[in-house]
Amino acid sequence: MDTTTRVGLIGTGLLGQAVARRLAAVGCRVEAWNRTKGKALGLEAFGVKCVDSVENLLSGNNVIICLLSDADACDEVIFTETRLSLIAHHSIIIMMSTLTPEKVVEQQLQARRAKLDYVDMPVSGGTKGAEKGTLSLMAGGAKQSIDRLRPLLTHLGKVTRVGEVGAGQLTKLANQIIVAGTLCLLSEAFTLAQRGGADPIKVREALLGGFADSTLLQQHGERMVESDFCARGSAAWQLKDTKSIMALAEQLDLTLPLTDKVNVLFSQMVAAGDGDLDHCGIIRQIQRLNGLSI
C-alpha cells in the first residue's frame, strides 16, 4: 500500500463506521467526519482520527470516500465550488453512496473542473461485509483510476469495473432489484409456512443448501424468523432505492412488474411506521396484509 495515501471518510453511519474500522485495522491512515459529530467519535478507539470540520478533512487527504445518505447531502457537504477547491489537485473522490446514474455523472463533471479524479463505486454486502473485507464494490470510472485504487480497496472486498461513471450506480440498482425482491419472496415463503402450520425456523433450515439458498436466506432469513429487525439497512433507504429504480425504468421505457409491486410493498411498510426497521422487516408488511400477528 502506498504510504502517501491519506484517506478521508465522510459519513459515519453503520456502513461508514465499518469501512473506517476495516481500513484502519489493515494499517491505512484514516480520518473521518460526520455531520453529527458524536457518531464519529467512537472510531478513535479503532485508530481513526475524527476531524472537527469537513474543510479540514477535504484539505488533508488525497482519497475522499463519500458515504453520505443521499444526493442532497453530497451536494451540501462536498460538491460546491468552495469545498472542491480545498481538495488537492489530482486527488480522487470515491462515491460509495447510492445515488442515481445521472447524479454521479454530474458530480464527475464538477470534480473534473476542480482537477480531481472521480470514481462511482457503490457497494453491497452491508456492515458484515465491510468488517470482514468481503464487500462487492461496483466501480464505474476510468480503468486507470480504478486500478490506482485497487491496493487500497481490496482490503474492503472485490472490486469490479463495470464501465464508465454511472455504470456503478446502474449495477447497484440492479443489485437492489434482486435484494428487495428476494426479501419480499422470503417474507411470502415464511408467511405461507406459518399459516400452513410449519415452523418457519425449520423451513429456513431445510432450504439451506438447496436451489433456494442464498446469502439473503442465510442472513436476512435468519433475522426474519427470529424477528430481529434492528436496522443494518433501513426499509426507508430500501424504498429510496426502489423509487429510483422505478423512475429510471420510466425514463428507459421499461416495464418492471415485479419491482413495481416490491416498491408498493416497501411504500406500505414505511407508511405503516416501520421505515426505521431493517429492510428484512418487510415480512411484517406481508403478515399485516394477511392479518397475522406481528
Catalytic center residues: 172
Q: Minimal CA–CA distance to 143: which of 115, 174, 117? A: 117
From first CA to last CA, the distance across the chain in angstroms is 50
CA–CA gap between residue 292 and residue 281 (Å, rounded):
14
Strands 29-33 and 6-10 turn out to be parallel
The H or E element spanning position 126 is helix 126-132
CA–CA gap between residue 178 and residue 281 (Å, rounded):
16
CA–CA gap between residue 44 and residue 50 (Å, rounded):
7
Contact 32, 40 (CB under 8 A): yes
CA–CA gap between residue 255 and residue 195 (Å, rounded):
32
CA–CA gap between residue 13 and residue 252 (Å, rounded):
32
The alpha carbon dihedral of 58, 50, 29, 16 has a sign of: negative
Q: Minimal CA–CA distance to 130: which of 37, 53, 203, 23? A: 23
